[in-house]
Chains A and B, each alone.
Chain A
Amino acid sequence: AQRVTQPEKLLSVFKGAPVELKCNYSYSGSPELFWYVQYSRQRLQLLLRHISRESIKGFTADLNKGETSFHLKKPFAQEEDSAMYYCALRNTGGFKTIFGAGTRLFVKA
């Protein structure tokens, strides 16, 4: 069965510190992985997807098929990064997308 696990409900770091939000998945096929973000009083929106190997707002995420992980990283956290982050998985070629429980990131000044 498809499953996305985000082990941390809350992550608190100081401004300028590195941040890593963990995401592990279980899926028998070849998945597409995404990170979505919800800032305060804004809609849930896409942050990045593994297929395009991009860096958005300083965040990167590498798909590690051996460890079935897709951790989100940023070398220097900013206060504006404070938000709720969701890892999501979609079966390649399909439409069903499932989400993890989310991690709330709080960046302290």
Chain B
Amino acid sequence: DGGITQSPKYLFRKEGQNVTLSCEQNLNHDAMYWYRQDPGQGLRLIYYSQIVNDFQKGDIAEGYSVSREKKESFPLTVTSAQKNPTAFYLCASSSTDSSGANVLTFGAGSRLTVL
């Protein structure tokens, strides 16, 4: 069953703790992304990676870190430096379809709550 798997689905963290969200895909997509979804603000890009061992900051990268050691995996670490980490996090991957468009496939999301 091809797709993107995010874990955990729900996560609680105390202030000052780092936490890592997992994202795995078996779609053989080169590019992967992390977005943060907040009510009224839509999806904001945190980091993206076009290829293994390479990644770029998105619009709200401060307080976050990523790695891309394998094509299938793109974990996101929410560090204690992130001022407002409580949010819904979406992982996505992309490929170019037959029309030439680069289309995103999304995971089910992870909801992080800081206590």
Contact = CB atoms under 8 A, between A and B. Distances in A.
A17 interface: no
Give chain B's interface secondary structure class. strand
A52 B99 contact: yes
A44 B40 contact: no
A65 interface: no
B40 A34 contact: no
B99 A51 contact: yes
Interface size class of B (residues with CB under 8 A): 20 to 34
B63 to A, nearest CB: 19
Given A43-B106, A101-B40, A49 B101 contact: yes
Interface string B90-107: 100010000111111011
Interface of B: 31, 33, 35, 40-45, 48, 50, 56, 58-59, 90, 94, 99-104, 106-109
